[in-house]
Structure 1
Amino acid sequence: MDSQVEADGGGPEMLPGFICASFNQDTTSLSVGTKTGYRLFSVTSVDKLDCIHEGVECSDVSIVERLFSSSLVVVVSQSVPRRMNVYHFKKGTEICNYSYTNNILSVRLNRQRLVVCLEESIYIHNIKDMKLLKTLLNTPTNPSGLCALSVNHGNSFLAYPGSATIGEIAVYDANNLSTVTLIQAHASPLAALTFNGSGTKLASASEKGTVIRVFDIPEGHRLFEFRRGMKRYVSISSLSFSADAQFLCASSNTETVHIFKLEQHSPSQEEASPTWSAYVGKMFTAASTYLPAQVSDMMHQDRAFATVRLNMFGLKNICALATIQKLPRLLVASSDGHLYIYNVDPQDGGECIMVQKHRLFDGTEEQVEHKDEETPAEVSNQVAGQSYAATVALPSSQPPSSTLLGYSEEGGAQKGDVIPEHEFAEGPVCLDDENEFPPVSN
């Protein structure tokens, strides 16, 4: 669910101050790193992009990660790439900082763990007090810092490359500090990894970028296989599940974002309405039993359910699926300095329509004509128990909120202190600011 993109710098369309961007774990906010600091935006409305906070504690921010809707934010600067700073941004205080033996390439966090990934090692911290729990040394060379951490409060599965030469995924239990499984996912090295919200599915893509696979966790069995394209290899920049894990989106350095639907095809439906395509499909299925494995795999791969055509090519971006103002949306944050919002038809798919385009640096919006905004902006995008596909039929009443503990208004950790015990609820830890965002549903 959580993704990050880094700008390569330069280029006539590249915004000079833009360095990186990432969505938080439930896609309620967007974090952007810049030359002068970082910015946190609320993405719970289509027509309005609110800047929640602008941090200037350090410059040249290459990593910025926010923990759900809490006031905890992790920042790494290009000028001090081996040091991680953890801030309580509402209080303007530093909770702690840690220095590592090499450059920090990525940071992932959930309500139990904070994971720091270096090129050949991974550090696992207890997020409650930031104590180091485990160091995974001599991990396969991972120059991009590729890793994923599940965000469900009941588990903390960590996925990272198990090999530098093939697409092997190592899955580690960051709660119990034990190895779970190794998944032989792709023939070529990995390029993207992401868990669904409950930590029961893991999606992956290789450096070739032509095939995206989904595995069940913790067993590691292959569930789905999607073909992004055959004409060319691409660089996959992000993968992201919808909250109900019925859809998976993938963005790359091309102009197309693909949305795949995770559904098992029922043979009974094909028999009830026989068609020429169904007949040919059955012939392929029968033939695949004796054809080479690569050809057989291609026959069983599903194409994109929906697509988005971006007005850019070659720029890095990240995508995420969210329910905003009761409707399914695709969000694309691009290194051109914009956030693009598209409508998604969860029933028929097809080409998605852009409904809004926001600039990330001057607070102005570029209006896009659209006809679906009959829902008031105050309606929450977090609807407990509703699937992504079912949100089009939601009632207009706002769901009730509940009291959640966060990095509290009555104190907050000071520099060098552990995070106070009263900031955590018994059982699953919920670090959410009650009034800033709706409660997180897991």
Structure 2
Amino acid sequence: MALRSISFNQDYTCLAAGFDAAYKVYNCDPFGECFQKADDGGANLVEMLFSTSLIAVVGIGDKPANTMRKLKIINTKRKAVICELTFPTAILYVKMNRKRLVVVLVDQIFVYDVSCMKLLHSIEASAGSNDRIICDLCADDESVLVFQQSGSSDELAANAGTVVVFDALEIQPINVIECHKSPLQRIAVSKDGRLLATASVKGTIVRVFRVADGRKVHEFRRGSYTAQISCLSFNVDATVLCCSSNTGTVHFFRLDDVNRRRSTESIDADVDSSETLPRESSITEEESSEINRLINSQLGGHNGFAKKKSAESLKNFIWSKSKTYLPSQINSILEPKRDYAFIKLSTEVESVVGLVDNNCYVATRAGDFFVYSVQPGQCVLLKHYKIE
């Protein structure tokens, strides 16, 4: 059977998979199938509600009863449909927590009360450059919903990297955050709804913002070359951010409390006027002597290799010292933080990622399920299973 969708539940204890002729649920630890249903066709989307018996399923559209416009809420214990919702166009995403169900179409977002499946609110939206709406819903009952800003074609182009923060519990907007100049590719909100992670279609920089005030608290460099980000996910306590792409690489970025309280300005923002540029201090006597020594070795050297080596040493020394005289905002721009750990899969494939303690679960669109031990540097593969 061809694999059509994969997604973890809210605490990464289970994996839901949609196939062209069935849909299944797997336990992650130990890995194994715990539910399957094949009598009503395949599934284009399968979303779980934590580890409860409720799952949301969208069909593949191969027959009228399995249309992609219909959402089915299924009780896995009874293998019975308990609710059906039909929409005017195909369903692109489904997000759930214990309070809210969010259904995303190409031009609308619907918010439902999970307890009674009552429609509470609808939001007019517009698809971005990828012809889809980017969104996420926090797992906790606070029900923070984040999605790309919409508008007319001109407005959408101007705000392609802007995220709207919406309180789906109280049905009111919270904030609008300008995240990137380029269109958004992927966004994720932490379990408690306090942090927002974003990546643009370029896929080189990943940013983390504080939801309450929109301040940027982290900026990470994923890589130097463009990549399509397939997953952004926080671990449960939002101390680590995971990022996977179509290059087959998974990166882990540390979200320490000290840096979370600080805010670094974006590359095109004004430098804080409270910090002068350059910093009002002179170089030390030791630094001056080292510069003079390197200059003299460069001027006095006759050997070509020696001159090249001393010139390189001079450049590196001046660069490393010059950074200490720049405001912290500029240093953040020049050197975004990098990952502390990474996974390199054997093939370039899209994946979804879940981090639990020091173990990372990686499920790929090729039908592989990996368990890695996360440690500084390259992570260690512990187990490998097939999603089938």
Q: TM-score range by the shorter chain?
A: 0.7 to 0.9
Counterpart of 1:208 (choices 202, 222, 241) is: 202
C-alpha contact 1:18 1:335 (8 A) present in aligned 2:
yes
- Looking at structure 1, the residues matched to 133 and 72 of structure 2 have their Cα atoms a distance apart, in angstroms, of 18
Counterpart of 1:199 (choices 193, 199, 207) is: 193
Q: Which amino acid aligns with 2:77?
A: K
Q: Which amino acid aligns with 1:58?
A: D
1:68 aligns with 50
Alignment of 1:157 onto 2:144: yes
Identity %: 31
Counterpart of 1:226 (choices 217, 220, 230) is: 220
C-alpha contact 2:7 2:352 (8 A) present in aligned 1:
yes
1:5-404 alignment runs, 5 A limit: 17-45=2-30, 49-79=31-61, 80-139=67-126, 141=128, 143-153=131-141, 155-163=142-150, 164-165=156-157, 166-230=160-224, 232-263=225-256, 264=258, 283-284=322-323, 286-287=325-326, 297-313=332-348, 315-323=349-357, 328-345=358-375, 349-361=376-388
CA RMSD of superposed structures (Å): 2.4
Question: 1:44: how far off?
Answer: 2.3
Alignment deviations for residues 320-339 of structure 1 (CA, whole Å, 9 cap, x no partner):
1113xxxx111110111110
Q: Which amino acid aligns with 2:385?
A: H
Question: 1:50: how far off?
Answer: 1.7
- Looking at structure 2, the residues matched to 284 and 51 of structure 1 have their Cα atoms a distance apart, in angstroms, of 53
Alignment deviations for residues 55-98 of structure 1 (CA, whole Å, 9 cap, x no partner):
12432311000100100000001211111011111112111111
Question: 1:282: how far off?
Answer: 6.4
Q: Secondary structure at the match of 1:249?
A: strand
C-alpha change, 1:284 and 1:100, in structure 2 (3 Å) is: same
Q: Which amino acid aligns with 1:322?
A: V
Q: Secondary structure at the match of 1:103?
A: coil
- Looking at structure 2, the residues matched to 17 and 259 of structure 1 have their Cα atoms a distance apart, in angstroms, of 29
**How many aligned positions are there?**
322
C-alpha contact 2:107 2:127 (8 A) present in aligned 1:
yes
C-alpha contact 1:195 1:203 (8 A) present in aligned 2:
yes
C-alpha change, 1:282 and 1:205, in structure 2 (3 Å) is: farther
1:365 aligns with none
Q: Secondary structure at the match of 2:182?
A: coil
Question: 1:287: how far off?
Answer: 3.3
- Looking at structure 2, the residues matched to 57 and 221 of structure 1 have their Cα atoms a distance apart, in angstroms, of 49
Question: 1:217: how far off?
Answer: 1.7
Q: Secondary structure at the match of 2:359?
A: strand
- Looking at structure 1, the residues matched to 246 and 3 of structure 2 have their Cα atoms a distance apart, in angstroms, of 17
Task: Point out the structure with max Rg over C-alpha.
Answer: 2
C-alpha contact 1:284 1:299 (8 A) present in aligned 2:
no
Q: Which amino acid aligns with 1:354?
A: L
Question: 1:283: how far off?
Answer: 3.0
Calculate the TM-score normalised by the size of structure 2.
0.78
Q: Which amino acid aligns with 1:359?
A: K
Larger RCO (CA within 8 A; separation ≥ 6): 1
- Looking at structure 2, the residues matched to 185 and 320 of structure 1 have their Cα atoms a distance apart, in angstroms, of 24
Q: Which amino acid aligns with 2:243?
A: A
1:422 aligns with none
- Looking at structure 2, the residues matched to 218 and 234 of structure 1 have their Cα atoms a distance apart, in angstroms, of 29
- Looking at structure 1, the residues matched to 29 and 339 of structure 2 have their Cα atoms a distance apart, in angstroms, of 26
- Looking at structure 2, the residues matched to 337 and 140 of structure 1 have their Cα atoms a distance apart, in angstroms, of 29
Moved more, 71-80 or 299-308: 299-308
- Looking at structure 2, the residues matched to 77 and 37 of structure 1 have their Cα atoms a distance apart, in angstroms, of 10
Q: Secondary structure at the match of 1:186?
A: coil
C-alpha contact 2:342 2:377 (8 A) present in aligned 1:
yes
1:386 aligns with none
Alignment deviations for residues 8-42 of structure 1 (CA, whole Å, 9 cap, x no partner):
xxxxxxxx511110000000000010011111000
Alignment deviations for residues 215-240 of structure 1 (CA, whole Å, 9 cap, x no partner):
1122211110000011x110000011
C-alpha change, 1:108 and 1:288, in structure 2 (3 Å) is: same
- Looking at structure 2, the residues matched to 300 and 130 of structure 1 have their Cα atoms a distance apart, in angstroms, of 48
Question: 1:256: how far off?
Answer: 1.4
C-alpha contact 1:148 1:160 (8 A) present in aligned 2:
yes
Structure 2 gap segments, 5+ residues each: 62-66, 151-155, 263-312
Q: Secondary structure at the match of 2:333?
A: helix
- Looking at structure 2, the residues matched to 302 and 93 of structure 1 have their Cα atoms a distance apart, in angstroms, of 48
C-alpha contact 1:105 1:144 (8 A) present in aligned 2:
yes
C-alpha contact 2:125 2:149 (8 A) present in aligned 1:
no
Question: 1:316: how far off?
Answer: 1.7
Calculate the TM-score normalised by the size of structure 1.
0.69
Q: Secondary structure at the match of 1:81?
A: coil
